[in-house]
Amino acid sequence: MQAGHAPTAPPVDALAGRFARVRSRTGWLAAPLSPEDAMVQSMADASPAKWHLAHSTWFLERFVLALQPGYVAYAPQWDRLLNSYYHSAGPMHARPQRGHLSRPTLDEVLEYRHAVDARVQARLQADGLDVQQRRNLLLALQHEQQHQELLLTDIKHAFWSNPLRPAYRAGLPLPAPAAPQPLRWIDADEALVRIGAPAWPDAGHFAYDNESPRHRVLVHAHALASRPVSNADFRAFVEDGGYRQPLLWLSDGWATVQAEGWTRPLYWDEDLAHAHTLGGHRRLDPAAPVCHLGYYEADAYARWAGARLPTEFEWERAAQGVACAGNFADDGLLEPAASGDARPDAPVQLFGDVWEWTSSAYGAYPGYRPWSGGIGEYNGKFMVGQWVLRGGSCATARDHVRASYRNFFPPAARWQFAGLRLARDR
């Protein structure tokens, strides 16, 4: 907080409405899962759905309710189980072993959610949250939306790992077909561009600390592809032997291809025409954006195509002033969809459908300052060995993203809804 600024916090009425929507949405997303489904952990990078339900509730308790003097935690013996990576909050259970936790049961976790919801709602109704608690509540809801997406990506991997390949939710609608759009190049001249978001909470509008401070960046002349790379585009790369050509790959990427036996995107069948989805086994739409690629695959494809990945600043420049319209989790498809938008003068599908890998390493902006206190562990300590993705996906809540939003994952991560858009120099 800058000197001379009055304390600001989100209005209670707006917070109460958002709290009800977000918490209800998480429950709806988890509703199709049995207790057995909710406990499974198919790899070390994923977490059980039950853990996501409980951890997001623990975050509310720890960083909102527990700021009240004398607060008594609902189940303090669960702290070690539900803490993710907040060393300031105490010890934690090892992430790869979260699937070993048969207790607390799913019913107990749901009771925990209901109890904490009632406590938060009572505080809101009594206007009993101070400025910091209201700020942290808004952060907690943003945090929960991230776990909503992780719940979907993690259960998709779990069900794909099951030879039965069950559907997460029966009857998920199929995306409407759209004619394939030719890839065009949108030129951008060299410019000095303001990047990032003003620091929250001073600015009033929420943004994570890794999005600030707002600063100027010289973006060189370049061209950006009009649309994301499609399934048909990427199939051509596979059929041309892209996974067998070491000269296309970064050294670590080629080592990963060899060690993991990658031959095609995650979830694709060997016929390159079908894939596992949250709606079950389906035929790939050739015109839909390709997804479930790691950074290594996105970078190799760009080389094969005679192009490159955009920097995060090139991407953000193109997205500034563009409405966050697209195929998001709110639309219920939960798979990328082809777009019929063929505007000749602007890139399309910047938001939604698939996160887009950029060539930018995840690091601090000039003058970056992490939030104070325990929530300062949220973003900054991961600024090594990660790459930036932009735009949101079909599993992201629409009101969770913005042009300045910086997602990040290690380069071999494939289980997220991640694709790519090409760029090239001019």
350-373: pLDDT as tens digits: 999 999 999 999 999 999 999 988
Distance from the Cα of residue 398 to its chain's centroid: 11
Q: Where residue 344 falls among pLDDT bands split at 50, 70, 90?
A: confident
Amino acid at 80: R
Query: Counting Cβ atoms within 10 Å, is residue 115 exposed (0-12), middle (13-18) or buried (19+)?
Result: middle
198-235: pLDDT as tens digits: 999 888 899 999 999 999 999 999 999 999 999 999 99
Q: How far apart are CA 185 and CA 344, in angstroms?
A: 9
Identify the three-state secondary structure at position 146. Answer: helix
Q: How far apart are CA 129 and CA 137, in angstroms?
A: 9
**Cβ atoms < 10 Å from Cβ of 400:** 21
Distances (CA, A) of 164 to 34, 160, 168, 235, 281: 16, 8, 12, 25, 10
Q: How far apart are CA 109 and CA 19, in angstroms?
A: 18
> For position 99, what pLDDT does the model report?
97
Q: What are phi and psi of 37, to 5 degrees?
A: -60, -45
> For position 340, what pLDDT does the model report?
84
Identify the three-state secondary structure at position 273. Answer: coil
pTM higher than 0.75 for the full model? yes
Identify the three-state secondary structure at position 194. Answer: strand
> For position 270, what pLDDT does the model report?
98
Cβ atoms of residues 395 and 415 within 8 Å:
no
As a whole number, the mean pLDDT across the chain is: 96
Identify the three-state secondary structure at position 425. Answer: strand
Q: How far apart are CA 201 and CA 113, in angstroms?
A: 27
70-127: pLDDT as tens digits: 999 999 999 999 999 999 999 999 999 999 999 999 999 999 999 999 999 999 999 9
* Percent of the chain scoring above 70 in pLDDT: 98
**Cβ atoms < 10 Å from Cβ of 221:** 11
275-328: pLDDT as tens digits: 999 999 999 999 999 999 999 999 999 999 999 999 999 999 999 999 999 999
> For position 203, what pLDDT does the model report?
82
Distances (CA, A) of 284 to 58, 177, 287, 332, 350: 39, 11, 9, 18, 21
Number of H helices and E strands in the chain, helices first, is 10, 11
Does residue 3 register a pLDDT over 50? no
32-79: pLDDT as tens digits: 999 999 999 999 999 999 999 999 999 999 999 999 999 999 999 999
> For position 221, what pLDDT does the model report?
98
Q: How far apart are CA 402 and CA 143, in angstroms?
A: 15
> For position 202, what pLDDT does the model report?
83
Beta-strand relationship, 418-419 and 355-361: parallel
Residue from 394, 379, 410 nearest 142 by CA: 379
129-180: pLDDT as tens digits: 999 999 999 999 999 999 999 999 999 999 999 999 999 998 899 998 888 9
What is the DSSP-derived secondary structure letter of residue 153? H
